């Protein structure tokens, strides 16, 4: 079978899942040479097996609003691949959530988790529940109902969910509380927990910090650094907030942040009390990014994305397909030479092509944002050992993991002076899982 025949087969079988097809195509196109030249992998049909989740769970989530109205959402957990460890991956609560989006995220997670060097399989889950505008009590009732079904499918050695869009410390708290009550046991079944009840220091910061550490590694190869660079960030949630903090610490200047309604441009940099205001605005007040512009007299661009603001470094930290081909061209034209993806699959295939052709430093999400799940892995280890590592210890482990991911990308993606990080990440992530599947036989 040729690569095109294989991809055609996947597309036909999953015709209503465009994001999943996009994610599979990107991986398959970059590993095909390796796969095609390995008769053992082909005979065992590893690719046919790896694109099929081990298990998909879909369930009803009934709950009540504050006024007593009955609501029904759909819950999902995709247990994609457990060849190298328990399923691991976040939960997303957002109205756009559907089976195809969660399958794309779960598929990406297999290779990302493999790259971290920690023993974690790939999974993802969530619901089409929209937390926006809901009271804390409504979010609690939803989370409790969600866990009343999910609990029977997860466990510290089976499947360990975490946060993602719309799921932060508040939601993880409600989910953990219900799990603990039903099971009557205190285990590391979720990561991203509060510090006083089993969480790890640096876990909230980990994805954003890791994305910046990865950008720093890419720049080092060119004898450059983040010091003095102008940086565009999208998003203003968990990943964006700590990416901004780490850029500030390394001497860069972040001039944009966004949410699903628009973006703000702050030419003086989002730093100091302005950064603290952003955290309070998004995490406590749960307000809109436009309020930042009002507060500090900056420009707000409703309904737009930040990619036409000139920068040297871009960190997309909001959602999938948020940089299209045209936006990628604009970034490169304006002098951007480093893109490190905090979000999952934020660049469309056309955009990726633009970055690759321009030969800029382009770190795809599965490598650049792996610091979050890696630190979740460290949280699992601390829970099992019933110990807490210091902030410095976790940060240094995170930093070393990001360096190791960069080294793996370099090993498999080096092409003369250029490093193809997409190829490097996919081949390195794939080979480990594929070999584990071979060793374990036809299951
Ligand atoms: P949050 O919910 O904390 O923040 C998400 C941010 O992105 C918000 O600013 C949100 O705006 C914006 N956003 C969400 N959906 C859209 C959309 N459709 N269009 C434009 N903006 C949007 O999520 P995280 O920061 O945790 O996640 C951000 C990205 O990082 C996701 O792609 C996630 O998969 C990825 N990621 C997260 C990890 C983690 O540890 N949390 C780990 C690895 C990857 P609004 O407030 O308007 O909704």
Kindly state if the Cβ of 344 falls inside 6 Å of ligand 1.
yes
Cβ–ligand 1 distance for 395 under 6 Å, the answer no
Q: What is the pLDDT of residue 368?
A: 98
Tens digits of residue pLDDT in 17-48: 999 999 999 999 999 999 999 999 999 999 99
Whole-angstrom Cα distance, residue 293 to residue 156? 43
Predicted local distance difference test score (pLDDT) of residue 385: 95
- At residue 6 the predicted structure's pLDDT band, cuts being 50, 70 and 90, is very high
Q: Does domain 53-187 have CATH number 3.40.50.10860?
A: yes
> In this structure, what token pair is assigned to residue 434?
């594929």
User: Is 0.85 surpassed by the pTM of this model?
Assistant: yes
What CATH homologous superfamily does 204-368 map to? NAD(P)-binding Rossmann-like Domain (3.40.50.720)
Cα 239 to middle of ligand 1, angstroms? 7
For ligand 1, atom 7, the nearest C-alpha belongs to: 318
pLDDT tens-digit profile of 230-274?
999 999 999 999 999 999 999 999 999 999 999 999 999 999 999
Tell me the CA–centroid distance for residue 83 and ligand 1, in Å. Answer: 28
Find out whether the beta carbon of 252 lies less than 6 Å from any atom of ligand 1.
no
Catalytic residue among 88, 124, 246, 274: 124
Contact 256, 331 (CB under 8 A): no
Q: How far is CA 161 from CA 91, 131, 147, 175, 428, in A?
A: 6, 18, 11, 10, 24
Q: Tell whether ligand 1 has an atom less than 6 A from the beta carbon of residue 26.
A: no
* CA-closest residue to ligand 1 atom 17: 260
Contacts of 26 (CB under 8 A, 6+ apart): 345, 349, 352, 422, 426
Ligand 1 and 200: CB distance under 6 A: no
Is the CB of residue 259 below 6 angstroms from any atom belonging to ligand 1? yes
The reply to whether ligand 1 has any atom less than 6 angstroms from the CB of 164 is: yes
* Interval 301-325: pLDDT, tens: 999 999 999 999 999 999 999 999 9
- The pLDDT value given to residue 176: 98
Mutate to test the pocket of ligand 1, among 203, 204, 237, 375 (most ligand atoms within 8 A of CB): 237
What percentage of the chain exceeds 90 in pLDDT?
100
Residue located nearest, by CA, to atom 23 of ligand 1: 165
Residue 260 CA to ligand 1 center (angstroms) comes to 9
How far, in Å, CA of 54 to CA of 186, rounded? 27
Q: In terms of C-beta density within 10 A (0-12 exposed, 13-18 middle, 19 or more buried), how is residue 276 classed?
A: exposed
Residues 313, 224: Cα–Cα separation, whole Å: 12
The response to whether residue 188 sits with its C-beta less than 6 Å from ligand 1 reads no
Nearest atom, ligand 1, residue 345 CA: 32
The CB density around residue 18, as the number of other CB atoms within 10 Å, is 14
DSSP assignment of 221-277 equals HTT--STT-EEEEE--SHHHHHHHHHHHHTT-EEEEEEETTEEEE-TT-S-THHHHH
Do 254 and 263 touch, CB atoms closer than 8 A? no
Most ligand 1 atoms within 8 A of CB, residue of 94, 165, 348 to mutate: 165
Query: DSSP of 317-384, one letter per residue?
Result: -S-TT-B-HHHHHHHHHTT--EEE-SSSS-B-HHHHHHHHHTT-EEE-HHHHTTHHHHHHHHHHHHHH
Q: Cα angle vertex 342, ends 336, 347, to 5°? A: 60
Q: Is 124 a catalytic residue?
A: yes
Nearest CA to ligand 1 atom 27: 165
Q: What is the pLDDT of residues 391-404, one digit of tens each?
A: 999 999 999 999 99
């Amino acid at each position: 079978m040729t690569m095109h025949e294989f991809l055609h087969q996947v597309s036909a079988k999953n015709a209503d899942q465009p994001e999943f097809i996009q994610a599979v195509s990107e991986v398959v196109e970059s590993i095909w040479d390796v796969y095609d030249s390995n008769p053992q992998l082909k005979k065992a049909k590893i690719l046919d097996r790896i694109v099929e989740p081990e298990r998909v769970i879909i369930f009803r989530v009934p709950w009540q609003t504050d006024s007593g109205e009955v609501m029904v959402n759909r819950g999902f957990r995709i247990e994609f691949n457990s060849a190298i460890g328990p399923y691991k991956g976040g939960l997303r609560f957002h109205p756009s959530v559907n089976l195809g989006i969660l399958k794309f995220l779960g598929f990406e997670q297999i290779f990302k988790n493999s790259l971290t060097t920690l023993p974690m399989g790939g999974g993802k889950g969530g619901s089409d529940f929209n937390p926006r505008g809901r009271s804390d009590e409504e979010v609690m009732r939803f989370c409790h109902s969600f866990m009343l079904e999910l609990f029977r499918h997860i466990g510290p050695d089976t499947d360990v969910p975490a946060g993602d869009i719309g799921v932060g410390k508040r939601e993880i708290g409600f989910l953990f509380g219900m799990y603990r009550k039903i099971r009557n046991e205190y285990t590391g079944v979720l990561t991203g927990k509060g510090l006083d009840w089993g969480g790890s220091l640096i876990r909230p910061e980990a994805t954003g910090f890791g994305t910046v550490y990865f950008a720093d590694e890419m720049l080092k190869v060119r004898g450059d650094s983040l010091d003095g660079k102008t940086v565009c960030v999208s998003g203003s949630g968990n990943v964006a907030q700590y990416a901004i903090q780490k850029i500030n610490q390394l001497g860069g200047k972040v001039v944009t942040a966004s949410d699903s309604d628009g973006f703000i441009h702050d030419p003086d940099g989002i730093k100091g009390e302005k950064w603290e205001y952003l955290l309070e605005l998004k995490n406590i007040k749960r307000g809109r990014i436009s309020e930042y512009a009002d507060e500090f007299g900056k420009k707000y661009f409703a309904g737009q994305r930040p990619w036409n603001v000139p920068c040297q470094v871009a960190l997309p930290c909001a959602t999938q397909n948020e940089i299209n081909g045209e936006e990628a061209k604009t970034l490169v034209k304006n002098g951007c030479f480093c893109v490190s993806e905090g979000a999952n699959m934020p660049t469309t295939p056309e955009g990726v092509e633009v970055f690759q052709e321009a030969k800029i430093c382009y770190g795809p999400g599965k490598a650049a944002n792996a610091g979050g799940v890696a630190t979740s892995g460290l949280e699992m280890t601390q829970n099992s050992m019933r110990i807490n590592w210091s902030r410095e210890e976790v940060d240094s482990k995170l930093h070393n993991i990001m360096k190791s991911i960069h080294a793996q990308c370099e090993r498999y993606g080096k092409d003369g002076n250029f490093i193809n990080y997409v190829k490097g990440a996919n081949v390195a992530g794939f080979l480990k899982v594929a070999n584990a599947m071979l060793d374990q036989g036809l299951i």
